[in-house]
Amino acid sequence: MSKKRLILALTIIFSIAGSVLAAPAGTVKIGLSAPITGNLAEYGENFKYSVLMAADKINANGGIRGRKLVVDIQDSKGDPKEAALIAQKFVQDQEILATIGEFSSTSSLAAAPIYERYGLVQLSPTASHPDFAKAGQYMFGIIGTQDAEGPFNAKYIAKKYLKLKSVAAIYVNNDWGLVTKDRFIEAARGEGIKVTSQQPFFETEKDFNAVLTKIRATNPEGIFIAAMYNEAALICRQIKKLGWNVKLMAPSSVFSEKLLEIGGEAVEGLATNTFFALTDPDPKVQVYINEFRKRAGRNPNLHAASAYDSALLLAEAIRKAGFNRKAIRDQLAQTKNFPGITGKITFTPVGDVVRKYKILVVENGQWVVKKDYTQ
């Protein structure tokens, strides 16, 4: 064999060997942006527990294409500006193949232009604003949107379960609060329910007495509270302190152990919706619930379960697509009937999903599914 041919043969051999040996030595890195601290800390902690649980499960089963899945966790503190800064960090890190987050629609929307510009997936477990997935080809949401949740809350909770003839709304004055209130109010009117008042509040507010007094003067039979668990718990406590006997309802944002802890007796009877329940007999759901309890010392909720599904869904897309950001995005968009613990997941053409909801009510200090009123 000539020297030239020998060099060529050795080059090919070393090249093949290098490609075979190098791949398993690497890792698969994804980002997690969530409010680990601050007013929304329980939501962020739930994300963290669930995503790391999913990563451990994936790694125990050989990882992704032989590589270990690692998660870069960043704390947004629930601040849209912080979420945008984290997005800038993630898109510049070429090792990060996709991201999970943000928690709130407002933070997710704030970060969306950055992820879209640099072509990095932002898969939100919980952003329900109808405009989030529409914000770009790299935006995906799996919780469903207020376009579906609002009508369900109006028809099945306000009208059928609570039997309301009139309702008022109090809502946090941000992107999510406004659209959540609007979709519910529009649907309630369509169901023949009179809307007596619509009052906003700012995220920093703690005293709701003036707003509640104004709403109470319109004499609604029920009140729709478009807020997170911490604000909703305070509102319910102040309603009780006023001696006001009004029926309580809210979007799924309040589904939290913290609502029960902070609200106490004041949140008894409050109704919301879910597509995840602790009583689900599915063995894989119960395995998840038990493991979450061991790690977190509390029950998971809808948002925790959605974060777990997000991590498993993303890992499956990477396994099929390989280690390329655009290929991962394209594979994710093709998702149909993915078997999550929150149900089967299929993305619509814009990148969100359509969910079927159940009514969830606080009874004797616990969350209870009311099966007789589900779709």
Question: pLDDT digit string (tens) for 315-357?
Answer: 999 999 999 999 999 999 999 999 999 999 999 999 999 999 9
Q: Are 350 and 134 in contact (CB under 8 A)?
A: yes
What's residue 55's pLDDT?
A: 98
Summarize the confidence of residues 171-191 as an average pLDDT. Answer: 97
Question: Looking at residue 8, what is its pLDDT?
Answer: 39
Q: What is the pLDDT of residue 297?
A: 94
pLDDT beyond 90 at 24? no
- Helix (H) or strand (E) segment spanning residue 308: helix 302-321
Half-sphere exposure in the Cβ direction for 30 (13 Å, CA):
29
pLDDT of residue 25: 52
DSSP β-bridge partners for residue 32 = 73, 100
Distance CA 270, CA 96 (A): 41
User: How many other CB atoms are found less than 10 A from the CB of residue 93?
Assistant: 13
Residue tagged 């655009």 (tokens): 326
- In this prediction, residue 371 carries a pLDDT of 74
Contact between residue 220 and residue 239 where contact means Cβ atoms under 8 Å apart = no
Q: Mean pLDDT across the stretch 252-272?
A: 96
- Residue 14, pLDDT > 50, answer no
Domain ranges of the chain: 11-143+281-345, 147-278+358-373
**102 upstream amide cis, omega within 30 of 0:** yes
- Is the confidence at residue 228, as pLDDT, over 90? yes
> From CA 40, how far away is CA 33, in angstroms rounded?
13
Cα 14 to Cα 18, 20, 23, 67, 145: the distances in Å are 6, 10, 14, 21, 52
Question: What DSSP element (H or E) covers 29?
Answer: strand 27-34
**In this structure, what token pair is assigned to residue 150?**
């609002």
Mean per-residue pLDDT, 213-229: 97
Residues 6+ apart with CB under 8 A from 351: 133, 134, 137, 139, 140, 141, 333
**For 62-120, how does the pLDDT look when each residue is reduced to its tens digit (9 = 90+)?**
999 999 999 999 999 999 999 999 999 999 999 999 999 999 999 999 999 999 999 99
Q: Taking a C-beta distance cutoff of 8 angstroms, is the pair 112, 135 a contact?
A: yes
Q: What is the pTM of this model?
A: 0.89
Instruction: Give Cβ neighbours of residue 18 (< 8 Å, ≥ 6 apart).
Output: none
Q: In this model, does residue 22 exceed pLDDT 70?
A: no
Phi, psi (5° rounding) for residue 288? Answer: -60, -50
pLDDT value, residue 333: 97
> Do 11-143+281-345 and 147-278+358-373 have matching folds?
yes
Q: Which CATH number fits domain 11-143+281-345: 3.50.80.10, 1.10.10.10, 3.40.50.2300, 3.20.20.70?
A: 3.40.50.2300
**Which of 24 and 182 is assigned the larger pLDDT?**
182
Taking only the tens place, the pLDDT of each residue in 240-254 is 999 999 999 999 999
How high is the pLDDT of residue 16?
A: 33
Write phi, then psi, for 282 (nearest 5 degrees).
-55, 125
For the chain, the maximum distance between any two Cα atoms, rounded to a whole number of angstroms, is 98
Tens-place pLDDT, residues 270-293 = 999 999 999 999 999 999 999 999
Model pLDDT, residue 346: 97
- Which of 24-38, 92-106, 219-233, 316-330 bottoms out in mean pLDDT, i.e. has the lowest? 24-38
Give the Cα-Cα-Cα angle 189, 193, 198 (nearest 5 degrees).
70
CA 128/CA 47 separation, integer angstroms:
16
Residues of the chain with pLDDT > 90, as a percent, come to 90
CATH superfamily of 147-278+358-373: Response regulator (3.40.50.2300)
**Cα gap 27→229, rounded to integer Å:** 37
Residue 11: is its pLDDT beyond 60? Answer: no
